[in-house]
Structure 1
Amino acid sequence: MSYFKKLALIGMVSIATLSTEVAYAGEAPVIGDNSNGQVLVDNTHGQTAGAADWVIDGAFSDYANSIANQGYQVKELRDQSGITADSLIETSILVIPEANIPFKSTEQQAILDYVKNGGSVIFISDHYNADRNYNRIDSSEIMNGYRRGAYDDITKNMTEAEKNSEAMQGVTNSDWLSENFGVRFRYNALNNVKATDIVQGEEGLGLGEGVQSVSMHAGSTLAVTNPKIAKGIAYLPDNLTEADKWGHAVDQGVYNGGGKEEGAYIAVSKVGKGKAAFIGDSSMVEDITPKYKREDNGSTKKTYDGFKEEDNGKLLNNLTTWLGKKEDYTTFEALGITLDQETTLLDSEIPENSKETQAEPWSQPKDGYEWFNSETFAPGSYGGPENAGGDDDNPGNNQGTATLEYPESVVSGETFKVTTTLNGYDINSTINDLKLGMYTEGGQQIGKISLDGQQASNYGYSQPTAVKTDGEGNAQVTFTVEVKEGVSGNANIRLKQGSTNVVTKPVTVQP
């Protein structure tokens, strides 16, 4: 039952309020209402391994909120059964952030069937050699369907424990992505470049509207292998050199000197009744609010504000719009637009001919860490043990559930209240360094925020405050927000604890 319906049934308040619940690592978070459908974001394939934090209440929260602002309910898939036909029944768009655990053949089939029957999926990959959990298989390999240099045996050089793990059962090599979606992620690694060749108008399916440039920070491109169903949308400059490759690239890094010969940075496919989109770098999607610790060593993650760079957020919004639109044509050839040229491949890009250019994994994990066994994960990581509780002198970090309640829409220049309810934290303990902010999708702070009854003088996050939980681990604090005069449209409200994002929620600002 939605929060709106629940309030109406029990008659708690007279105005609609927004609420979200974020669990530490158990119950999956949900953001937004369901007026346009449901977007499911995969978190069952190592999306929080290493420095990654690709979850909707962490470093993909700006992206998730932009989807929610388009009328979708954004959910996170945490079911250990992985991607199944049942998990996709209510799904309008499936988002697969940079996977670091391979798909089983059954999952590949479920995704393909879902798209052929009218569903949409977006694959967000990264550069080759982004092996975040040291399992020898990168996201580009996982999404393509085969491991480079190990086409005959995907478990090559793995330990018996790895081979026998549940994560590797039902996993086989194939040229899955190319055969079914007409694209293949290339194994190049390009760094700190901007894609300014954006296909516009009908030829670009409207995806280039309002987009002049998108950024890449250590990413890859895509080869179009079947132009009838696949099309490039954004391309890098055609004068790339050795200086443009990622510093840790294990081979030539730049394959064809940039431009269309290098392959599309962003591409789309039309498969049956459904659609697919592909991005060669997670950097353009992430933001600076990681939620979890690293699973291998427990250190704090550092992510970057890629969503706000260039026109990244705008292009991602355009992709959501296009993916959510049902269209009858089944190929770009049938649509009557100009088809791409098939990308010229290196011999080493043919799956059977691919070679391992450097022994994997690229570095050795901390003793005791096993990528397939969450019992070995560090405290504070996703799937790992929760941090130990504490007291006033040594506060714990057992993150329970955070709920924000405030009006569905607020008015420019006026004030409103945000009630923050915390449940399931350590009992009789202090939760320090809580602060609330309100900002536009472009990152502009638009709220003067203070504790209820006090006064704030600057736009930005409130002064840090501490609350003490009761005997059941619950607490509540209310903030007063004065909205900046002259702003309107979509915005976000975010609760942080220190530098950690606790919960982010969309709100509409009326002029």
Structure 2
Amino acid sequence: MGVSNRFRLAGVAAGLLVLSSLAGAGPKALFDNTHAETAGNADWQIDTDQPLPVPDQSTVTPATPRDYWLGAISSWAIDLVKRGYSVATLTPAFGITYGNAGNAYDLSKYDVFIVPEPNVRFTAAESTAIFGFVRDGGGLIAVSDHSGSDRNGDGFDSPQIWDLLDTQHRFGVHFGISGDANNNIVQDSFNSETALSDSIIHGPNGVADGVSYHNGTTMTLDPVANPTVTGDIWMTGLTHGTTGLMAAHAVYGNGRIVFAGDSSPIDDGSAAPGNTSIFDGWGEASGRDSLLFLNATMWATRRTVPVAVPPTLAPGLMLAPPTPDPSGGEVGLRFALPVAARARVEILDVAGRRVRTLVSGWQPAGEQRLTWDGRGAGGRRLGAGVYLVRLVSGSQQRVRRIVRL
């Protein structure tokens, strides 16, 4: 798609609010492309124009489509710009440095550093820069892939590269490598942390209580080395311990780190021309992939920088936890709308398929109560397992988990 066509897609109408931040205003996210993130069939870039994407991010509006820029993680960047961020790509011409005033893309100039599946080992100088950046308050999003995903054939895959960066577990995480259990899994898991204090799961963009892995590794936490490390999502069926993690987070010094063991969730299916090995994990219905990584980015962002939540995500839409939960009988549900609007309350199975619609149509403002009798659309009693209740109104949604006995 040519630049002129992409400008036409933007549809920048007079009077339409532009949410992207101006230079120097709002939080700044830097996406790494210094470690062969486009090697082999990977395309982990926000745009083929680098360091700054084209068209300019000042033209991004709430209606901007995900393929406005050309890269398999363009949606991640577009969604951040819509939330007040400015974004850039770090290229080998500048490199990973911290405290280098001569580097226009030095980490000190950014609030969160996103590294999507590195395929080249970090040098000692780069390691020092990354740890210093996080220690002093910067955020890091560390994305891995499955064991054996050596895309450039140099003998090192991304789990090994992350582990080599942090051999002392100062960040508190070990990525599963060859010989470790569950180092290459395919799974939709909704085995998430339920505490509302977990801002990765219960964040400003919605409840991200699940993730879809399409060949990813799991992680082991080391709370002895870093007592702050905490799990967010575990493999299905596991207790909430230190093994089988699919997403986790930690604090190091004044900074924050979020870890994920698969790159499929960040892939938005809109890769650069010629790359056909793409998959729309960002928009996948069976997981909450985009919500998870947007919540993670906002949580990790340097805390001295305010992060604005766009109006479409403003507080007001409410879906309370089901009661009782778990339950073998009827389940009570409560939801509320800030204003009268069309809304839908539905029950989904663990794969994200709708099995029952409880409410659909115009609803009044305020709180409402209803019950679910555990039956599907045809009146058949559904089997035991994990189900989801989802409230949808306009561009907003809220999701809660229900366990049927």
TM-score (norm 2): 0.58
Give the C-alpha shift of residue 326 in structure 1: 1.8
Give the C-alpha shift of residue 120 in structure 1: 0.5
Aligned partner (choices 202, 207, 217) of residue 214 of structure 2: 217
Q: Which moved more, 1:74-83 or 1:108-117?
A: 74-83
Q: CA RMSD in A?
A: 2.8
Aligned partner (choices 107, 115, 132) of residue 134 of structure 2: 115
- CA distance change for structure 1 residues 177 and 321 in 2, over 3 Å: closer, same or farther? farther
| SS of match in other structure, 1:45 | coil
Does residue 67 in structure 1 map to residue 80 in structure 2? yes
Aligned partner (choices 187, 193, 196) of residue 199 of structure 1: 193
Mapped contact 1:208–1:233 kept (Cα < 8 A):
no
Give the C-alpha shift of residue 33 in structure 1: 4.0
Aligned partner (choices 90, 111, 120) of residue 77 of structure 1: 90
Give the C-alpha shift of residue 198 in structure 1: 1.1
2:237 partner letter: D
2:150 partner letter: D
**How many aligned residue pairs are there?**
256
Residue ranges of structure 2 left out of the alignment (5+ in a row)? 1-12, 48-70, 101-105, 305-392, 397-405
Give the C-alpha shift of residue 238 in structure 1: 2.5
> Residue 349 of structure 1 aligns with which residue?
none
Mapped contact 2:200–2:232 kept (Cα < 8 A):
no
Residue ranges of structure 1 left out of the alignment (5+ in a row)? 1-12, 20-30, 146-174, 240-257, 294-299, 328-485, 490-511
Mapped contact 1:207–1:322 kept (Cα < 8 A):
no
Distance in 1 between the 2:21 and 2:117 partners? 23
Give the C-alpha shift of residue 202 in structure 1: 4.5
Mapped contact 1:178–1:184 kept (Cα < 8 A):
no
| SS of match in other structure, 1:59 | coil
Mapped contact 2:138–2:302 kept (Cα < 8 A):
no
| SS of match in other structure, 2:215 | coil
Aligned partner (choices 144, 147, 154) of residue 135 of structure 1: 154
Q: What is the aligned-residue identity percentage?
A: 29
| SS of match in other structure, 1:192 | strand
Distance in 2 between the 1:41 and 1:129 partners? 23
- CA distance change for structure 1 residues 127 and 204 in 2, over 3 Å: closer, same or farther? same
- CA distance change for structure 1 residues 261 and 267 in 2, over 3 Å: closer, same or farther? closer
TM-score (norm 1): 0.46
Rg comparison, structure with higher value: 1
2:117 partner letter: E
| SS of match in other structure, 1:193 | strand
Give the C-alpha shift of residue 131 in structure 1: 0.7
Aligned partner (choices 98, 101, 104) of residue 123 of structure 2: 104
Aligned partner (choices 242, 245, 249) of residue 268 of structure 1: 249
- CA distance change for structure 1 residues 201 and 261 in 2, over 3 Å: closer, same or farther? closer
> Residue 125 of structure 1 aligns with which residue?
144
- CA distance change for structure 1 residues 72 and 278 in 2, over 3 Å: closer, same or farther? same
Does residue 315 in structure 1 map to residue 296 in structure 2? no
Matches within 5 A, 1:6-17: none
> Residue 181 of structure 1 aligns with which residue?
171
Give the C-alpha shift of residue 488 in structure 1: 6.2
Give the C-alpha shift of residue 16 in structure 1: 7.9
Mapped contact 1:238–1:259 kept (Cα < 8 A):
no
Mapped contact 1:219–1:280 kept (Cα < 8 A):
yes
Mapped contact 2:141–2:297 kept (Cα < 8 A):
no
Give the C-alpha shift of residue 80 in structure 1: 2.9
Does residue 47 in structure 1 map to residue 37 in structure 2? yes
Distance in 2 between the 1:200 and 1:17 partners? 35
Aligned partner (choices 28, 34, 44) of residue 38 of structure 1: 28
- CA distance change for structure 1 residues 32 and 283 in 2, over 3 Å: closer, same or farther? farther
> Residue 63 of structure 2 aligns with which residue?
none
Distance in 2 between the 1:280 and 1:206 partners? 15
- CA distance change for structure 1 residues 200 and 129 in 2, over 3 Å: closer, same or farther? same
**Deviations, residues 428-474 of structure 1 (Å, cap 9, x unaligned):** xxxxxxxxxxxxxxxxxxxxxxxxxxxxxxxxxxxxxxxxxxxxxxx
